[in-house]
Amino acid sequence: MIEMIQWIGEPVISILVLLGALLSVLSAFGIIRFPDVYLRSHAATKSATLGVLCVLSSAFLFFWVYDHYPSARILLGILFVFITAPVAGHLNARAAYRTGVPLWKLEKDELKPALKEKGIDREKAKKEPLN
């Protein structure tokens, strides 16, 4: 029974590692090629997070299948990456938007009226230098 689990676990672990590496490479390519900070943030948070989660999941499965040791540290790492990376990307994009970083080829800015209601002026933030 254990040999069968290891026989099935080996290709699953290998596929997860390769998928995670591929997603991380695509994320790096997106960070280099995308034209503005918002699209770069999207590439960095979505695909890189999924890539890291695939690699950490494969590490968790490896230790569980081959060493019979389910690692709580790896599970905590998965949870930490899953929670913090998208939040950090969102906060970076929000800070860029509020300080007036221009958007790439945007036809309609749906957030602008909501910010004006709160008294935040993007146009004014563009003209003021950052301290």
106 domain-assigned: no
29 domain-assigned: yes
The per-residue pLDDT string of the chain (131 residues; one tens digit each, 9 = 90 and over) reads: 767 777 888 999 999 999 999 999 999 999 899 888 888 888 888 888 999 999 999 999 999 998 888 899 999 999 999 999 989 999 988 888 888 787 787 667 777 777 777 777 666 655 555 54
Residue 99: both structure tokens together: 């300080």
9 domain-assigned: yes
Range of the domain at 59: 2-99
Q: What is the pTM of this model?
A: 0.76
128 domain-assigned: no
How many domains are there within the chain?
1
Question: Is the separation of the CB atoms in 56 and 78 below 8 Å?
Answer: yes
124 domain-assigned: no
Q: Please give the Cα distance from 57 to 66 (Å, whole number).
A: 14
Question: Is the separation of the CB atoms in 54 and 17 below 8 Å?
Answer: yes
89 domain-assigned: yes
| Residue 89, amino acid | G
Tokens 């080996």, residue located: 10
107 domain-assigned: no
One-character DSSP codes across 93-104: HHHHHHTTPPPS
